[in-house]
């Protein structure tokens, strides 16, 4: 059995632990494992396929990033090809990819990625490749699994940042607006905001009214709490407004680049309340660094669970975490709409009950 592994899309802490879990489980069964480098780039031109054994995956469980490299511009169905006139055109190279996969004599592919990569996994499965998906995203917005690895680490990083921002905000009687990741779903903002004792949490699921945010800041001021902490997800938007983007999607890009909502919210708070307000965007800090214990363990379990699916001939599925166990769901179930924060979730109710403003 020759097993191929690929990491695609944005990175997330725990990718290396998945690779280690999968490779060692494969070796345990007497199989050979290979890593396709840089998303699918390794099979489309670069021929960067590396053999993975115990030596290659030694000591990587605690490391951030991915030893295989990744890209969110490597869909074989929309491969960016530079044209003679300098423009870039998206080209379907999926047939070439299938041929390269077979030429290498691979028997199965484990694809570790977020919504975009899992969609590619499903398309490749429909083209006849034996694929198993592993859900990855710090945003935790993939359906079919309660948790994705990387999320816990991102929440810890954001919470740590909020703790730090707290002391400086308090010293200066300032309002600090902290932007965290979360394109469609507010899981990181909600969890880190609560753990980091934010006063206002703005998530994409609840379009906000800036006046309600300012009311909270003024109320605190009146009580002698002259500073406030606002956490805003990058995908949050005002009622009737739109998400704030830094750059449109270019050729090969899967999506536009979000960012900048913290500056907008900070400017509006300063204008309406007269309080000095600063904005801070945590950005890719949340994607880097050592995975937490929870993420390391979940990632190792996902890697082993994916190999178990391959051993059972169970393809076109994605491994999933439904506590206390890992299992699998059809890949199709994970696609479609992102997994949003349900507004009746007890975490949301608790936020309201302890006086956190959610912007509505």
Please identify every residue annotated as catalytic.
139
CA angle 187, 193, 196 (to 5 degrees): 135
φ/ψ region of 264 (left if φ > 0, alpha if ψ in -120 to 50, else beta) reads alpha
Stretch that binds ligand F6P, among 18-26, 38-46, 79-87, 177-185 (CB under 6 A): 177-185
Q: Which one of residues 33, 36, 138, 269 is an interface residue with ligand F6P (CB under 6 A)?
A: 138
Q: Rounded to the nearest 10 degrees, what angle do helices 115-126 and 94-103 cross at?
A: 70
Chain residues 251-270 in contact with ligand F6P, contact rule CB under 6 A: 257-258
183 interacts with ligand F6P by CB under 6 A: yes
The H or E element containing residue 125 is: helix 115-126
Nearest to residue 78, comparing CAs of 40, 108, 115, 25? Answer: 40
137 interacts with ligand F6P by CB under 6 A: yes
> How many residues of this chain bind ligand F6P (CB under 6 A)?
13
Q: Which residue's Cβ lies closest to ligand F6P? A: 181
CA–CA gap between residue 140 and residue 153 (Å, rounded): 11
Stretch that binds ligand F6P, among 90-98, 167-175, 176-184, 336-344 (CB under 6 A): 176-184
Nearest to residue 243, comparing CAs of 216, 203, 213, 191? Answer: 203
CB closer to ligand F6P, 174 vs 287: 287
CB closer to ligand F6P, 115 vs 199: 115
DSSP string, 47-73: --EEEE-TTTTTT-TT--S-TT---SS
CB closer to ligand F6P, 19 vs 258: 258
158 interacts with ligand F6P by CB under 6 A: no
Half-sphere exposure of 157 (CA within 13 A, CB side): 26
Q: Which one of residues 14, 64, 76, 114 is an interface residue with ligand F6P (CB under 6 A)?
A: 114
CA angle 159, 160, 163 (to 5 degrees): 85
C-alpha Rg value of the chain to the nearest Å:
22
CA–CA gap between residue 169 and residue 160 (Å, rounded): 14
Burial zone of 355 (CB within 10 Å; 0-12 exposed, 13-18 middle, 19+ buried): exposed
> Per-residue x/- mask for ligand F6P, residues 276 to 305, rule CB under 6 A?
-----------x------------------
**Least CB distance from residue 218 to ligand F6P, whole Å?**
31
CB closer to ligand F6P, 232 vs 304: 232
Q: Which one of residues 15, 18, 131, 181 is an interface residue with ligand F6P (CB under 6 A)?
A: 181
> Per-residue x/- mask for ligand F6P, residues 52 to 71, rule CB under 6 A?
--------------------
10 interacts with ligand F6P by CB under 6 A: yes
Which stretches of the chain bind ligand F6P, using CB under 6 A? 10, 72, 114, 137-139, 181-183, 234, 257-258, 287
């Amino acid at each position: 059995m020759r097993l191929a592994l690929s990491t695609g899309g944005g990175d997330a802490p725990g990718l290396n632990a998945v690779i280690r879990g999968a490779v060692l489980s494969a070796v345990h069964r007497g199989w050979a494992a290979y890593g396709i480098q840089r998303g699918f780039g390794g099979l489309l031109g670069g021929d960067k396929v590396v053999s993975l054994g115990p030596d290659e995956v030694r000591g990587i469980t605690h490391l951030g990033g991915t030893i295989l490299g990744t890209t969110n511009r490597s869909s074989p169905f929309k491969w960016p090809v530079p044209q003679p006139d300098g423009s870039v055109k998206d080209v379907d190279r999926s047939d070439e990819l299938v041929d390269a996969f077979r030429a290498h004599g691979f028997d199965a592919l484990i694809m570790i990625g977020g919504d975009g990569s899992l969609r590619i996994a499903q398309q490749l499965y429909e083209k006849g490749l034996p694929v198993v998906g592993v859900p990855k995203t710090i945003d935790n917005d993939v359906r079919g699994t309660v948790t994705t690895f990387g999320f816990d680490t991102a929440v810890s990083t954001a919470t740590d940042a909020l703790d730090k921002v707290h002391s400086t905000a308090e010293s200066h009687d300032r309002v600090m607006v902290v932007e965290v990741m979360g394109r469609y779903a507010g899981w990181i903002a909600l969890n880190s905001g609560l753990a980091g004792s934010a006063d206002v949490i703005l998530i994409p699921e609840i379009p906000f009214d800036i006046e309600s945010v300012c009311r909270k800041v003024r109320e605190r001021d009146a009580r002698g709490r002259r500073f406030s902490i606002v956490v805003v997800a990058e995908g949050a938007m005002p009622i009737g407004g739109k998400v704030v983007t830094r750059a449109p999607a270019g050729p090969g890009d899967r999506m536009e680049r979000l960012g900048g909502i913290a500056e907008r919210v900070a400017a509006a708070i300063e204008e309406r309340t007269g309080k000095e307000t600063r904005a801070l965007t945590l950005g890719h800090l949340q994607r880097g660094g050592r995975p937490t214990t929870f993420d390391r363990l979940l990632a190792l379990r996902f890697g082993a669970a994916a190999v178990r699916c391959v051993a059972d001939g169970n393809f076109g599925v994605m491994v999933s975490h439904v506590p206390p166990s890992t299992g699998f769901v059809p890949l199709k179930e994970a696609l479609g709409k992102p997994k949003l924060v349900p507004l009746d979730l007890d975490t949301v109710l608790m936020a309201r009950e302890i006086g956190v403003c959610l912007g509505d």
